[in-house]
Amino acid sequence: MTSTSPVEKAGGATATYVDQRIGSNKFLARNLGKVFPDHWSFMLGEIALYSFIVVLLTGVFLTLFFKPSMVEVVYDGSYVPLKGIKMSEAYASSLDISFDIRGGLLLRQMHHWSALIFVAAMAGYSLPDDLLSGTGLQIARGIMQAAPIVGTWMAFLLFGGEFPGTDFISRLYGVHILLIPGLILALVTVHLMLVWTQKHTQFPGPGRTNDNVVGYPLLPVYMAKAGGFFFIVFGIVAFVGGLVTINPIWLFGPFTPDQVSAGSQPDWYIGFLDGALRMMPNWETVIFGWTISWNIMVPAMILPGILFTVLALYPFIEAWVTGDKGEHNLLDRPRNAPTRTGFGMMAITFYALLWIGGANDIIAVAFDLSINAITWFLRVAIFVIPPIVFWITRRTCLGLQRKDQEKLLHGYESGRVLRLPHGEFVEVHQPLSVKDLAVISSKTEHVPLPAPEKADADGVRNKHYKLQMRRHKLSSFFYKESYVRPTDEEIEAGQHHVAHDAELEAPLHAYEDADQINRAHGGVLHHPGMAETNAEQESQH
């Protein structure tokens, strides 16, 4: 060690102390120089992680002042319009945080904004016991009661009786400040450990292969960039929390179960479920005295159940269909996996339509449309539009693949037309840059699973024929029409040819450089004394 400052000496001594006990230097040796790849999209994950940290920090502050109690009190704080009004202690303490604790509203709004960024807010929405959050709880209870057989009992137990009761806020509070953050923290930790052990995946680029990581080392560059970015996110949340009002609970008033405001909108992450509830036709059946509320069960339980299950299982389903169980550290460009990209776009479209459904009243008012017409449109669109989007996306990906193939074999079209001395016109093609070449040529070849035989050579019947056939068909569908990547030799030959093309322009550049006149962009080789117009040209002949 060459350290001389007392701080570094103390740091070194601490490292040795810890190392003696847990052998931490082995970890530091491996990881202080750990390489992280750069890509703008990785920043999104960082934003989510950092907002979560901001949620935790601001949340701790709020717990010191919030009182999760539905005991009725008479408000006597500094917000005049509600003075003397009876309300729950939860709502009163939320008003105190907003008006009587300096910086309280700032922290409350930072908590809400960063939670919106991080999607952790579900339970927090309902805690202040204002009119809007109470309506949210009422809907949640209505959904709960729609669960067959156990629903009503479940609602009675969770609420401690009928709605709204006096227990639910304090129960929800425990879930909100302990269970959910604990669970998220555990999952975030597992996620970061996985990223750390497996090393970050990377997009294709120069020098990037499936077996390496190309980027910046943790110390110092990534530490400064990622660490600095935490402060950027934190700062922006503070700025927005300070200047942009969110959830002005004082305007909604205290909750009572017989009041509601028009245009009640959930926070964005619940919007899709609310949209599903709004779009569902009013189906209900009664079997032996048991009511089955399809109108609530399908959109609020079955649909999210299917949605999240498919989301979780998709990687395994695709691996099974394609038979590709390899380790992938180099990301596929979306166009190089057309079917997967199509499914993704289909899912996003489906989600977006549900989301639009959640705002059908706002849309009806804003665009002066019939709300019934919007709802009917969505009821049909939810089944029709996603498959169309799937098809368009897949065709677009395949088209882009074909364009890539062109580029690999013939370079860029420069758009410059050149007349050669002997009169021939050619369009100049340019070789790809090192970066483009690496990105475009990263496409890997996929082969569908082979069709199974009904029986082997000895005539023994294949027991799994039907399943294998189905898998073969699915994987053929998955890889259908994908363009074949040219071989390395073909690419090299193509790029070489293009480079030769570019040489044709050399005299042109030489001329331009020498003369400093930029007249040549029409594409004809000019030289002093050359005719400018057709008439001149003819007279010269």
Partner 1 sequence: MTDISPNEGNHKAVETKLGYSPVADIPHRLRAADTDPKAAKRAERQVASMFLLSMLFVVLFIVAYIAIDKSTIIYIPVMGDVGASQVALGFTLAAAIFLIGAGAIQWAKKLMPDVEVVQQRHDQLSPGSATREAEANYERGKDESGFARYKMIRRTLIGALVLFPIPLVILLKDLWVPTKAEQGKSPADILSTTLWTKDTRIVSDGTYAPVRPEDLPVGGLISGVPADLLDVEEIEGNLNARGKAAIILVRMQPDEIRSQQGDGWDYQGIVAYSKICTHVGCPIALYEQRTHHLLCPCHQSTFDLADSGEVVFGPAARRMPQLPIGVDFWERG
| Binders in 184-213 for partner 1, by CB under 8 A | 197-199, 205-213
Identify which of residues 292 and 469 has a Cβ nearer to partner 1 in the complex: 292
CB of 282 to partner 1, least distance (A): 4
Could you say which residues in the range 399-418 bind partner 1, by CB under 8 A? none
Number of residues that bind partner 1 (CB under 8 A): 110
Residue 428 and residue 501 in contact, taking contact as beta carbons nearer than 8 Å: yes
Identify which of residues 120 and 238 has a Cβ nearer to partner 1 in the complex: 238
Decide if residue 423 touches partner 1 (CB under 8 A). no
Nearest C-alpha neighbor of 254 from the set 171, 159, 169, 144: 169
Segment contacting partner 1 by CB under 8 A, of 145-153, 333-341, 476-484, 500-508: 145-153
Segment contacting partner 1 by CB under 8 A, of 240-248, 304-312, 413-421, 471-479: 240-248
Decide if residue 143 touches partner 1 (CB under 8 A). yes
Out of 59, 124, 128, 241, name the contact with partner 1 by CB under 8 A.
Answer: 241
Out of 42, 65, 216, 511, name the contact with partner 1 by CB under 8 A.
Answer: 216
Identify which of residues 396 and 441 has a Cβ nearer to partner 1 in the complex: 441
Residue 492 and residue 500 in contact, taking contact as beta carbons nearer than 8 Å: no
Q: CB-side exposure of 223: number of CA atoms within 13 Å?
A: 8
CB of 535 to partner 1, least distance (A): 47
Q: What is the separation of C-alpha 239 from the centre of its chain, rounded to a whole number of angstroms?
A: 24
CB of 539 to partner 1, least distance (A): 49
Nearest C-alpha neighbor of 202 from the set 441, 439, 484: 439
CB of 46 to partner 1, least distance (A): 12
Nearest C-alpha neighbor of 172 from the set 66, 297, 58, 245: 66
Convert residues 97-116 into a mask of x (bound to partner 1 by CB under 8 A) and - (unbound). --xx-xx-xx----------
Identify which of residues 141 and 176 has a Cβ nearer to partner 1 in the complex: 141
Decide if residue 158 touches partner 1 (CB under 8 A). yes
Segment contacting partner 1 by CB under 8 A, of 161-169, 315-323, 335-343, 476-484: 161-169
Residue 276 and residue 359 in contact, taking contact as beta carbons nearer than 8 Å: no
Could you say which residues in the range 35-54 bind partner 1, by CB under 8 A? 35, 38
Give me 441's structure tokens: 């040529």
Identify which of residues 375 and 401 has a Cβ nearer to partner 1 in the complex: 375
Give me 58's structure tokens: 């601001």
For every residue of 30-67, DSSP letters joined together read HHTT-EE---TTHHHHHHHHHHHHHHHHHHHHHHTT--
Identify which of residues 28 and 348 has a Cβ nearer to partner 1 in the complex: 28
Decide if residue 77 touches partner 1 (CB under 8 A). no
Q: What are phi and psi of 88, to 5 degrees?
A: -75, 155
Out of 12, 220, 248, 387, name the contact with partner 1 by CB under 8 A.
Answer: 220
Decide if residue 65 touches partner 1 (CB under 8 A). no
Could you say which residues in the range 424-443 bind partner 1, by CB under 8 A? 433-435, 437-438, 441
Segment contacting partner 1 by CB under 8 A, of 31-39, 118-126, 340-348, 470-478: 31-39
Q: What are phi and psi of 302, to 5 degrees?
A: -65, -45
Give me 312's structure tokens: 């979780």
CB of 383 to partner 1, least distance (A): 17
Give the Cα separation of 389 and 387 in Å (integer): 5
Identify which of residues 249 and 279 has a Cβ nearer to partner 1 in the complex: 279
Out of 371, 384, 493, 504, name the contact with partner 1 by CB under 8 A.
Answer: 371
Identify which of residues 33 and 305 has a Cβ nearer to partner 1 in the complex: 33
CB of 510 to partner 1, least distance (A): 24
Convert residues 441-460 into a mask of x (bound to partner 1 by CB under 8 A) and - (unbound). x-------------------
Could you say which residues in the range 322-361 bind partner 1, by CB under 8 A? 327, 329, 360-361
Residue 450 and residue 469 in contact, taking contact as beta carbons nearer than 8 Å: no
CB of 44 to partner 1, least distance (A): 17
Out of 6, 228, 326, 421, name the contact with partner 1 by CB under 8 A.
Answer: 228
Give the Cα separation of 451 and 476 in Å (integer): 9
Q: Name the maximum alpha-carbon separation found in the chain.
A: 104
Residue 164 and residue 255 in contact, taking contact as beta carbons nearer than 8 Å: yes
Q: What are phi and psi of 221, to 5 degrees?
A: -65, -50
Could you say which residues in the range 460-499 bind partner 1, by CB under 8 A? 488, 491-492
The single residue listed with the structure tokens 């390395």 is: 488
Could you say which residues in the range 274-303 bind partner 1, by CB under 8 A? 274, 277-284, 293, 295-296, 299
Residue 425 and residue 419 in contact, taking contact as beta carbons nearer than 8 Å: yes
Q: How far is CA 235 from CA 57, 62, 231, 526, in A?
A: 13, 19, 6, 58
Q: What is the separation of C-alpha 419 from the centre of its chain, rounded to a whole number of angstroms?
A: 50
Answer positive or negative: Cα dihedral of 33, 34, 37, 40: negative
Identify which of residues 293 and 430 has a Cβ nearer to partner 1 in the complex: 293
Give the Cα separation of 209 and 321 in Å (integer): 25
Out of 17, 27, 153, 391, name the contact with partner 1 by CB under 8 A.
Answer: 153
Answer positive or negative: Cα dihedral of 505, 511, 515, 517: negative
Segment contacting partner 1 by CB under 8 A, of 94-102, 118-126, 414-422, 528-536: 94-102
Nearest C-alpha neighbor of 59 from the set 178, 171, 236: 178
